[in-house]
Structure 1
Amino acid sequence: MAHEIRMAGDEDFFGWLPLFEAYCEFYETELDDAKALIVWNWIRDEHDPLEAVLAVDEEGTPVGLAQFRIVPDTLQATRGIHLDDLYVETGARGTGVGRALIEFVHARSREVGTGGVTWITAADNAEAQRLYDELARRTTWVTYEMDA
């Protein structure tokens, strides 16, 4: 099954929304209409760093998404990409969609600098980590979060 990987466009909201909703559900985060519209507007705002790419099946239905942003790499004095969100619908998993989305984002990182791509995942997301371990180097960095 072939998939087209492309940047999300204005007309993609109703194809993007179920994927983002499923992503939020996977991470046990509620998605209401307001939050969905805020994130979509970030994606579509040319002045906001958040971008989105979709994997689209042969019928034109989005089956995967990657959301990312260009970030400075101060230690290397270049720019790279932070991959914020990656989601592939259950029926399309194992078909190369996740790999293709990451490779698309990686190619985009070479357009903006030499910083490459970084991302995090949940420690118990073993299925995704199998793919990530094939594509990238696992680091020793520890992530911290401070609530608002």
Structure 2
Amino acid sequence: METHIRPLSLTDRPAWESLFLAYGQFYKTDYSPALIEANWRRLHDPTVGLHGLVALGEAGELIGLLHYIPHLHTNSARMVGYLEDLFVIPEARGQRAGEKLIEALVDIGKTSGWYRIYWHTHADNATARKLYDRVAKLSAFVRYDIPLVP
């Protein structure tokens, strides 16, 4: 199967929304219509800094998404890239769509002169971790959270 990667487009809204909702379901998170709308607006507002890439299958259908945020970093004068979300439909897994999305982000980072790209995943997400172990180095850092909203 041939997979193509391109930036998210305004015409992708219905397919993107379906993918994003499936991503939320995977993590047992219900995204409200207001959050869907807010994220869609953020992805297309150049002042926000949230960006999207999509993977297309052979027929041009969206089979995956990747959201990322470039930001400042105190360990380097260069920007870093945070891979916020990565999702590929189950039917397309194992066909390198996720890997190609990450490769496209690496290309963006190299072209933009970033210091590095990083992301988080659930420890028990074995499918994603197989990919991540192939394309990246596992960090020794542990993440802590302070919830600010009940």
CA RMSD of the aligned region, Å?
Answer: 0.9
TM-score, length-normalised on structure 1? 0.97
Aligned to 1:127: 127
Return the offset for 1:76.
Answer: 1.5
Cα distance in 1 for partners of 2:75, 2:32 equals 38
Q: What residue identity is the alignment partner of 2:35?
A: K
SS of equivalent residue, structure 1 residue 54: strand
Which string of whole-angstrom CA distances, capped at 9 and with x for unpartnered residues, describes residues 48-102 of structure 1? 1100000011222100000001011211211121000000000000000000000
Equivalent runs, 1:52-131 vs 2, <5 Å: 52-131=52-131
Cα distance in 1 for partners of 2:124, 2:16 equals 25
SS of equivalent residue, structure 2 residue 79: strand
Aligned to 2:136: 136
Cα distance in 1 for partners of 2:75, 2:28 equals 34
Q: What residue identity is the alignment partner of 2:94?
A: G
Return the offset for 1:41.
Answer: 0.4
Aligned to 1:8: 8
Return the offset for 1:13.
Answer: 0.5
Cα distance in 1 for partners of 2:83, 2:70 equals 9
Cα distance in 2 for partners of 1:65, 1:145 equals 25
Q: What residue identity is the alignment partner of 1:77?
A: A
Q: How many aligned positions are there?
A: 148
- What stretches of structure 2 of length at least 5 have no aligned partner? none
- What stretches of structure 1 of length at least 5 have no aligned partner? none
TM-score, length-normalised on structure 2? 0.96
